[in-house]
Amino acid sequence: MPASAAKQLDHKQRAAEQLLDHYRSNARVLPWRSPPGTAPPDPYRVWLSEVMLQQTTVKAVTPRFERFITRWPTIEALAAASDEEILGEWAGLGYYARARNLIACARDVAKRGGFPDTADGLRELPGIGTYTAAAVAAIAFGRDSCAIDTNIERIVARLNALKDKAAIRAAAEAMVPAGRAGDFAQGMMDLGSAICRPKAPECRSCPLQDECASFALGRPEDFPERKTRQARPHRHGLAYWHERDDAIFLVRRPEKGLLGGMAALPGSEWRHGQAPDDAIATIRHGFTHFTLDLHIVESGAAPPNRGWWQPLAGIDEAGLPSLYKTAVERVLSGRAGKSPVQSPRNA
């Protein structure tokens, strides 16, 4: 092996050891984890947490994860639950395609009699991509797989002053210590969350500071390459308010598409257009690819054929996603003289 290559390998090995030392002393206590150096956690818990954590914070996920585990303590229990029960429990976590994939995956795993124990096998399951497969294989099964999410990509890019994605992946793979891929992945996740943050990283507190090329350059925030954000188009939609006997009429959205299978107020397609003059409330909401003004309009017509009357006293039991839950709240608060307009938020 050339001397330069050996030196690079030593650099990556040193960084990995320093990370593991830091993780042993500073690991977050999370309900889906086992303490560093102990037996791997239940694959069901690891998989469920990874699905929930996609584009959602640990703070938001933790109580919802605990509710799921209490209600469905095994993959078999989750697989046996109805779509409506699971979608209702998921309500408020956003990115609802995850919930539909969760249902399909749980039923597939239950049929198989358990999770595959390799990254390749896990990738065959519905809704499991390259990162999730590698993370579950490493954390739950002790496989030497390299899980690369945005946190890990950012740390490796800064550590080596890299911007090319292929080079970042190669550097990350070279860092994974044999037999300790699970602790390595979780240590990187913790480091990216608390110290090597996208903005204002706490470099002086970083255990990898001495090995970090971007710190030596004084430009850690230059790595990895920043993405240019494009303006999102804006759309309008109508939601119809049918009320009788202290209940409102709800429907279930089509299985495919945004908020698929979730409870909702009946309404129109979300298209470009203008606000109606007779809206009793307007909810501004941000989705990944567009922003939306959902206008709530009182309807004197008969409600759709398919749906149900949900008592307002039990509206929290309907499993409404954030958009429609906020819509109901704003209509009711508008009656009390409060502003009917809700500030923007992301799905």
Any idea which residue has 């102990």 for tokens? Answer: 38
Contacts 24+ apart (CB under 8 A), 242-245: 242/266, 242/299, 242/303, 243/298, 244/309, 245/309
- CA distances to 30, 130, 294 from 122, rounded to whole Å, are 23, 9, 39
What b/e readout covers 117-150, taking b as 16+ CB neighbours within 10 angstroms? ebbeebeebebbeebbbbbbbbbbbbbbbbbbbe
Measuring CA to CA, which residue among 296, 299, 306 is closest to residue 326? Answer: 296
With the CA atoms of 53, 134, 151 and 181 taken in that order, what torsion angle do they form, in degrees rounded to the nearest 10?
120
CB 101 within 8 A of CB 256: no
CB 141 within 8 A of CB 40: yes
* Rounded distance between C-alpha atoms, residue 183 and residue 187, angstroms: 6
Find the catalytic residue in 17, 50, 153, 298: 50
Asked if 317 is an active-site residue, the reply is no
Give residues with Cβ within 8 angstroms of 199, minimum separation 6. Answer: 221
- The amino acid that residue 194 corresponds to is A
Which sequence positions are flagged as catalytic? 50
